Structure 1
Amino acid sequence: MKNWLKTVLASPLIGLVAMAQAADVGPAHAHGVHGMLLFGEPGQVFASHLPLYRPPHDWQVVLELEPVTEAARKQTEQLLSTDTLLSLEPERFDLLRLRPGATDPLTQFRAALYLGHFESGGSKLADIDWRVKRTWLFEPVRVNVAADAQHYAVLSAGPGRQWLLHRVERRPDFDQILRIESQAPLPAELSLPQLLGQDSVDSRFRVSRIIWQDTDDLQ
């Protein structure tokens, strides 16, 4: 009788523990067409996932990619040498496979390269196979960070070759990618009291180009 009673009383607790463990693990997958902005320079190609507040797109992800073929590499480098907006429309895949430590990591995928935004009148140029060299950033979109500062992730290939990605941390917010000029290496993250725009100057860097800025999808 006592053993039976212990089992009955323990069952709800076991269920609560299982639910808590599942919550800690997070979503099991994030399948979808995960549009990205392509930027960088010859020899350093980045792709930034276009974040939303709803799953499966509620992640900020920055990858370093390289085209698999030599012809695609030359085409990409030529485009990156201009100030043209470039975007990718990948095949469907699970975004969580790009997370560091994933059990089944995604090392290569196919994506259409667009001149302009692939969902807003962009022109498709080619279907390209991309090799994933590195995941620079993989974080969930946040909505409850205090608005006392703006936080930027720093993507650096060395002095003078750096980019900033605005972290989405509240609602509404904005997605932003900036090219900066700095002769000294910067920390992996910057906390700034103000928004950055074209020709904004900090004691450590100057904004030379707004590669992308969007508020429409983050209302």
Structure 2
Amino acid sequence: MLPKPLKHVVYLCLLLPCLTIGQSAPALAKPTHMGLHGMLMFGGQQGLIASHLPMYHVPHNAQVLFQFHFVDAKVDKAIKQALQPNPNQVTPIWTIVPQPFDLMTLSTEASATSVRLIVDIVEGHFERGGVTKYQQQALVIDKLLLFALLDMGQATQTPKQATYCLLNLNHSTQEQYLYKRLAQRPETDHLLRISSASPLPAKCHSVDVTPANTATMDTLSEQFLADDLSGEISVIYVESDELQ
């Protein structure tokens, strides 16, 4: 005859699935976007931003941006200095290569800021001749800026407008950036640095685009810099081949 407490356990298992040893409740969802998710880095003294390099197929079908810092303070300082534009306003290309993980863990603020990634840091594009400068570096996500799954459909006509959004880290006049919100393919990943005499508000504008599916510097200046004649916009990164 079973002891009374054990009877209760058997009875509950008839009604509900019993947990195996070491299993949590509820069980974690299976990874859906597991892979090697290379990212572009940009930013400067006020902070660092990572932009996932997206494609129109799983597991890379998401546009993701987040603010972060490296755990190693010396590495963090070195990368911030390395990302400063040169006198011709050309921003060096640096990328990070995280250990494989499920991209969906970055889909909400709560889940993203609980993630610590281990990455290799590459001067240049990690798939296009870049040189690994640091290995196995830990980074902490401070703030999720954007997570958007891509519409996998093909655009039925060439778009005439696109949405560009401004990021302003710590309300600085020096650390301001623009990114293009990705729509249906074919698309162009377009990231830019913007300077102005005073801090600009973080907002998005719908702007006219060229046949290459990007806005011109003049168009972006009209929308974001208005009457600030001293303001300037320069390109950080532009990629269309991977987004066809």
Query: With structure 2 as the length reference, what TM-score do the two structures score?
Result: 0.72
Q: Which of 34, 39, 43 is the equivalent residue of 2:42?
A: 39
Identity of aligned residues (%): 27
How far apart in 1 are the matches of 2:102 and 2:113?
A: 10
Q: Which of 224, 233, 236 is the equivalent residue of 1:204?
A: 224
Question: 1:63, 1:137 within 8 Å by CA — same for their partners in 2?
Answer: yes
- Residues 1:188 and 2:217 are matched in the alignment: no
Q: In structure 2, what is the equivalent of residue 172 of structure 1?
A: 186
- Residues 1:53 and 2:27 are matched in the alignment: no
Q: Please give the per-residue CA displacement for 1:65-96, whole angstroms capped at 9, x wherever unaligned.
A: 10001121122122122421111111111111
* 3-state SS, counterpart of residue 78 of structure 2: helix
Deviation at 1:154, TM superposition (A): 2.0
Contiguous gaps of at least 5 residues in structure 2: 1-29, 86-90, 226-230
Question: 1:97, 1:106 within 8 Å by CA — same for their partners in 2?
Answer: no
Deviation at 1:207, TM superposition (A): 4.9
Classify 1:97/1:43 alpha carbon distance in 2 versus 1 (closer, same or farther; 3 Å).
same
Bigger Rg, which one: 2
- Residues 1:132 and 2:152 are matched in the alignment: no
The RMSD of aligned alpha carbons is 2.4
Deviation at 1:100, TM superposition (A): 1.2
- Residues 1:150 and 2:159 are matched in the alignment: no
Query: With structure 1 as the length reference, what TM-score do the two structures score?
Result: 0.79
- For 2:222, the aligned partner's letter is D
Q: Which of 81, 84, 88 is the equivalent residue of 1:81?
A: 84
Contiguous gaps of at least 5 residues in structure 1: 1-26
- For 2:241, the aligned partner's letter is D
How far apart in 1 are the matches of 2:34 and 2:207?
A: 34
Q: In structure 1, what is the equivalent of residue 18 of structure 2?
A: none
Deviation at 1:105, TM superposition (A): 6.0
How far apart in 2 are the matches of 1:90 and 1:134?
A: 17
Deviation at 1:193, TM superposition (A): 1.6
* 3-state SS, counterpart of residue 109 of structure 1: strand
Deviation at 1:122, TM superposition (A): 0.4
Question: 1:197, 1:210 within 8 Å by CA — same for their partners in 2?
Answer: no
How far apart in 1 are the matches of 2:111 and 2:33?
A: 14
